[in-house]
Structure 1
Amino acid sequence: MERQWMTGGSAAADGVAIDGLGDVRRAPGTWVQAVSEGPVALAVVGDCPVTGQELHAALVTVRAGRWVELTRWPGSYWVVASDGRQRFVCGDLAGIRAVYYTLRGDDGAAWATEARLLGRPLVPDLPWLAARLTAGEHHWPHRSPYEQIRLVPGGFGLLLAPGAPPQLLDVSGVEPVDELREGADRFGQVITEAVQHRVRAAGGVVGADLSGGLDSSAAVVLAADAGTVHAVTYTDGYTSGEDMAFASRVAEHTGIAHTVDIGADEQLPFSFPPGQPTGKEPVLEAAMFAMDTSYLRPVRGLPLHLTGHGGDIVLDASSSCWVRLLQDGRRREAHRQVVAFARLRNTAPGPYWKALKEAAILGRAGSLERAAQALERGPITPQAAVAGWSWCRLGAGASWLTGYGRHQVAALLRQAAGDQQPELADEFDQWAALRSVGASARGWIPYGHALGIRPVYPYLDNTVVRAAFAVPALARRGLVAYKPMLRESVPELPDWLTSRRSKGSFTAQRIAGLARHRDRLDGLIVSSPLVGGGLIDPAAVRSALAQAARGQSATVIADLHQMLVTCWWLSGQTTALEAAC
């Protein structure tokens, strides 16, 4: 079940041919269901409860080229289909099941579910990695961390035909409803089934994260109704005591087995212990490997491990929903909601309102162009994050760029401004956030494999994402209640859980980790290819690291976290390239 790679076209890879799709190779032991009739073939690879009868019936859909319908089964999986003339390849909406491809001149494209199988050297794309550190990854959903290797964005499939360039097809397939109540029943059905069909299929004890937050807690409650659960919780002197209290209460409420791991300084972030897998791409979770190794030990080897990852995206929405109101001309309603939101949090609504108006006026392309101009004008001064949502916020990473780095990132932002992406703020933001958490889950797969953990992410199933995104972002953005859709959609959850409004923070833990490992992290920065390539000023990053390690600049910690895992990841990629030469 762990090795599920596939390749197509003429990409070289050892493996087993899939029935009806003879030039598509899969890893030995991979779970796959395939059917074919003559030249028409369909395969589903991964975690999907589709029956053989349903697959046979879907061959009619393949013949008709109704590709999006092949992504509507529950679970998390890849689809490969051929009508005899064209081939359709697609992962999930979140991008956990990635599809990479590379152009081959007049020969079309080769595709694979792992970049290393495409037959090209894996050369890190340093300007893109610098841009990602500066402005976030969501402006370039089609790019991978490697030169000349593209990524099919979540929400799209790849259509291939002989002699034609590859075509990206929108398979998002969201059918909107008008209000929360209308969509809540559907969401409740699909999230319940997403959790419980996996627990039932496991046929034994399953593992689960139980952080004490709403998302993992709800998943554990649903799972306990379908089977036997062993939940694990991590805590230490720096994490939220309230989270721990909620986790204990959920375990008591459900009667499940519950192991609490009390971490020591050895489990603090940024240790990057010997033997840690480098992974396929830089992800924030790489900094937490020592913690993961410790708290997941009691559930190693179980059939699956449930997580609440992605719940924030499907259950909630950002203040982009108020920008959408302004885009729709509903200024008075937007202002009323912003003022109410600010008053509930005892903050001034003025700066928040100003930022949202600016976002609505500039739009996506205008915001990216303004960010590019700011980079080209000269060095960026680190500032506290401006309240309110923005299409493109230059973080602390922008102040670490060299002059050359600023011009490289500015060029990439201008390129992104011309790409086709949603122009409505809430739609852009929810898909960007979904792809980001999907990339995080995808990037953790090698770590899970090393730890004997098979993670599943029910909140990121296609059926769950579509049911959530069908509900307007404005309705999911609760002013008084936090994540109101959870209470509406799963009424059997206890009130004391769904009434929780707070959320734990890992800031203190990360500060302690930066302080403990500062000398080694300094070395990672100085030796980074981003520095060697002239994109990043090491003195600027080291200064920010020193301040954060002393607890003097908590606002840069998120950017430092991303910078450090990128530098660490690149150190492994550089070693691999040198070994190949």
Structure 2
Amino acid sequence: MERERMTGGSAAGDGLAIDGLGDVRRAPGTRVQAVTEGPVVLAVVGDCPVTEQELHAALAAVRARRWGELTRWPGSYWVVADDGRQRFVCGDLAGVRAVHYTLPGGEGAAWATQAHFLGRPLVPDLPWLAARLTVGGHHWPHRGPYEEIRLVPGGFGLLLAPGAPPQLIDISGVDAVDELREGADRFGRVLTEAVQHRVRAAGGVVGADLSGGLDSSAAVVLAADAGDVHAVTYADGYTSGEDMAFASHVAEHTGIAHTVVLGTDEQLPFSFPAGQPTGGEPVLEAAMYAMDASYLHPVRGLPLHLTGHGGDIVLDSSSACWVRLVQDGRRREAHRQVVAFARLRNTAPGPYWKALKEAADLGRSGSLERAARALERGPVTPQAAVAGWSWCRLGAGASWLTGYGRHQVSALLRQTAQDQQPELADEFDQWAVLRSAGASARGWAPYGAALGVRPVYPYLDNQVVRAAFAVPALARRGLVTYKPLLRAALPELPDWLTSRRSKGSFTAQRIAGLARHLGRLTELIASSPLADAGLIDPAAVSASLAQAARGQSAMVIADLHQLIVTCWWLSGQTTGREAAAC
């Protein structure tokens, strides 16, 4: 995906013109299919098996400005369409295929698939990055890490017309069904096609992640039915034995080639080896680069590399589905399910239920306002890790803010409280986590390019996402069965796989990595632009970092991970041009 890039409008950048779209430039090697009829043009850029006949038929949708119809082919791609008066540009629902744009200037709006092709100085937006560390970036889906550069949110396209400001067009197009069974067959078909059309098109051995989890395992089983697969698994002294057992069982069941790469302390998180690309935005995977370089080496240079990334989002849902029940007036049903869920996991249902009721009563805007007031009142103590879902939880990052930082973040929260976003908890949550998964995949692109790996994310394809989100979030949230949509959609998967209820994690590796690199990480944070700008207190972070490195404060590890990769990324943003070259 790294090589597939475009610019349009008044954006700067060298490259080849797309037929019929002379002002749109593409990088050499970018895969483009384009058709024209008079002034009407349609181009599909990226991984899409659409035929020329199908593209010609879709010109009718361009003329009628039915933009969402142009996003319903399999694969992962951008669309550029022009009816002679307006131009429509969009990526995918998850945001793996991003579209960045600037607000109109003297020459109108410019857009590009990578921010550094917009021809603007890339100035990191430090208050927004601080807010992202405090409450997550999902409250600002239209913003990215740079000042004055906007991001088209996943699920939307960009409509450009002379003399008019850029307009965001909703292209999500989810056709809801009533229950799991009704949508499972369609989900199974589109997921199978998403995996297998890529394997068939590769014409040779393809690589694949095989962690032992349900998502990567299901993708590998589907891929093995369509072609030759070489799967890779990372293991070290901290790896779950259950994960390894499942990965080995899947490899034996499918008869694929399987390489287990044994990592050492050199591959622990947060090493940031010399020569690691910086990329266009901070992503959690940056901390895992040494591990990735180690275990992906055996599949370097293969036509593509399948991953299970995004499976958690489409196959499951969060406890936001129970908040939605309360919002819909179905409080007794919500309470019954929450109690059953808590008892199955030997946890007290009371605090869990209280958190969900508060979320329903406050709503999104009220929750953001409450968080803003808490920041304005003074130093914040991180909230306990209550399992219940929240619109806006102040995590450990809030406790690291200075007074100035709290003021900046509270102002951003109040501003976004007025934005048009879903007020139904399950809808808001599933789009938020989908866009987060898309950003993670998008941000890993330069790392994949450096490692000679071309990742694909079938769980994040438009049609897979639509088929999953058509099933109610409540139905995807299994009380007894983990990820019930997968079992219902692909009954041919072995029962020993779909009956797995556990999930591995890298928490132990992260704690060990924090301990190994403690001194360097403390210095990195203290010298970061976030500290220089007076947004975070390095002493407060240092105390949390030392505790986490001793294994005494596991609840802050996720926030520390985000802060560390943000500070490391900022250390590479000395100038816009240097950042663009990374």
TM-score bracket for this pair, using the shorter chain length: over 0.9
CA distance in 1, matches of 2:444, 2:179: 35
Alignment partner of 1:111 is 2:111: yes
**Aligned counterpart, 2:540:** 540
Range 454-463 or range 384-393, more displaced: 384-393
AA aligned to 1:7 is: T
**Aligned counterpart, 2:491:** 491
Aligned to 2:342, what secondary structure does the other structure show? Answer: helix
Range 96-105 or range 131-140, more displaced: 96-105
- Deviation digits for residues 163-204 of structure 1, max 9, x if unmatched? 000000000000000000000000000000000000000000
Aligned to 2:370, what secondary structure does the other structure show? Answer: helix
**Aligned counterpart, 2:553:** 553
AA aligned to 1:236 is: D
Q: Is the 8 A contact 1:317 1:477 kept in 2?
A: yes
CA distance in 2, matches of 1:465, 1:551: 37
CA deviation after TM superposition for structure 1 residue 105, in Å: 3.0
Q: Is the 8 A contact 2:383 2:394 kept in 1?
A: no
CA distance in 2, matches of 1:418, 1:455: 37
Q: Is the 8 A contact 1:219 1:306 kept in 2?
A: yes
CA distance in 1, matches of 2:466, 2:248: 32
CA distance in 1, matches of 2:371, 2:118: 34
Alignment partner of 1:44 is 2:33: no
- Deviation digits for residues 258-300 of structure 1, max 9, x if unmatched? 0001100000000000000001100000000000000000000
AA aligned to 1:497 is: L
Residue pairs, 1:16-165, within 5 angstroms: 16-105=16-105, 107-165=107-165
Q: Is the 8 A contact 1:106 1:163 kept in 2?
A: no
- Deviation digits for residues 385-434 of structure 1, max 9, x if unmatched? 12300000010000000000000000000111001000100000000000
CA deviation after TM superposition for structure 1 residue 255, in Å: 0.3
CA deviation after TM superposition for structure 1 residue 505, in Å: 1.8
Q: Is the 8 A contact 1:282 1:565 kept in 2?
A: yes
AA aligned to 2:239 is: T
**Aligned counterpart, 2:416:** 416
Residue pairs, 1:223-372, within 5 angstroms: 223-372=223-372
CA distance in 2, matches of 1:345, 1:523: 40
CA distance in 1, matches of 2:218, 2:184: 15
**Aligned counterpart, 1:220:** 220
Aligned to 1:391, what secondary structure does the other structure show? Answer: coil
Percent identity between the aligned chains? 86
Aligned to 1:431, what secondary structure does the other structure show? Answer: helix
**Aligned counterpart, 1:448:** 448
CA distance in 2, matches of 1:331, 1:143: 35
**Aligned counterpart, 1:178:** 178
Residue pairs, 1:187-206, within 5 angstroms: 187-206=187-206
Q: Which runs of 5+ in 1 are unaligned?
A: none
CA deviation after TM superposition for structure 1 residue 578, in Å: 8.2
Structural RMSD (CA): 1.1
CA distance in 1, matches of 2:123, 2:301: 34
CA deviation after TM superposition for structure 1 residue 104, in Å: 2.6
- Deviation digits for residues 530-560 of structure 1, max 9, x if unmatched? 0000100000011110010111111100000
Aligned to 1:146, what secondary structure does the other structure show? Answer: coil
Q: Is the 8 A contact 1:2 1:30 kept in 2?
A: no
CA deviation after TM superposition for structure 1 residue 579, in Å: 9.3
CA distance in 1, matches of 2:226, 2:577: 47
Aligned to 1:195, what secondary structure does the other structure show? Answer: helix
Aligned to 2:521, what secondary structure does the other structure show? Answer: helix
Q: Is the 8 A contact 2:515 2:550 kept in 1?
A: yes
Aligned to 1:574, what secondary structure does the other structure show? Answer: coil
CA deviation after TM superposition for structure 1 residue 301, in Å: 0.2
**Aligned counterpart, 1:475:** 475
Residue pairs, 1:561-572, within 5 angstroms: 561-572=561-572
CA distance in 2, matches of 1:305, 1:28: 21
CA deviation after TM superposition for structure 1 residue 575, in Å: 5.8
CA distance in 2, matches of 1:508, 1:198: 34
Range 186-195 or range 28-37, more displaced: 28-37
- Deviation digits for residues 25-61 of structure 1, max 9, x if unmatched? 0001211000001110000000000000000111111
CA deviation after TM superposition for structure 1 residue 443, in Å: 0.1
- Deviation digits for residues 296-319 of structure 1, max 9, x if unmatched? 000000000000000000000000
- Deviation digits for residues 223-257 of structure 1, max 9, x if unmatched? 00000000000011112110011000000000000
- Deviation digits for residues 34-89 of structure 1, max 9, x if unmatched? 00011100000000000000001111110010000000000000000000000000
AA aligned to 1:422 is: P
CA deviation after TM superposition for structure 1 residue 381, in Å: 1.2
Q: 1:381 to 1:441 in 2, by over 3 A?
A: same
AA aligned to 1:37 is: E
**Aligned counterpart, 1:523:** 523
CA distance in 2, matches of 1:104, 1:166: 8
AA aligned to 1:455 is: P
AA aligned to 1:336 is: R
Aligned to 1:23, what secondary structure does the other structure show? Answer: strand
Q: Is the 8 A contact 1:107 1:163 kept in 2?
A: no
Q: Which runs of 5+ in 2 are unaligned?
A: none
Q: Is the 8 A contact 2:316 2:477 kept in 1?
A: yes
Aligned to 1:7, what secondary structure does the other structure show? Answer: strand
CA distance in 2, matches of 1:163, 1:241: 61
CA distance in 1, matches of 2:107, 2:473: 43
**Aligned counterpart, 1:167:** 167
AA aligned to 1:163 is: G
- Deviation digits for residues 123-170 of structure 1, max 9, x if unmatched? 000000000000001000000100000000000000000000000000
CA distance in 2, matches of 1:226, 1:291: 29
CA distance in 1, matches of 2:200, 2:88: 31
CA distance in 1, matches of 2:408, 2:512: 34
**Aligned counterpart, 2:401:** 401
Aligned to 2:573, what secondary structure does the other structure show? Answer: helix
AA aligned to 1:368 is: L
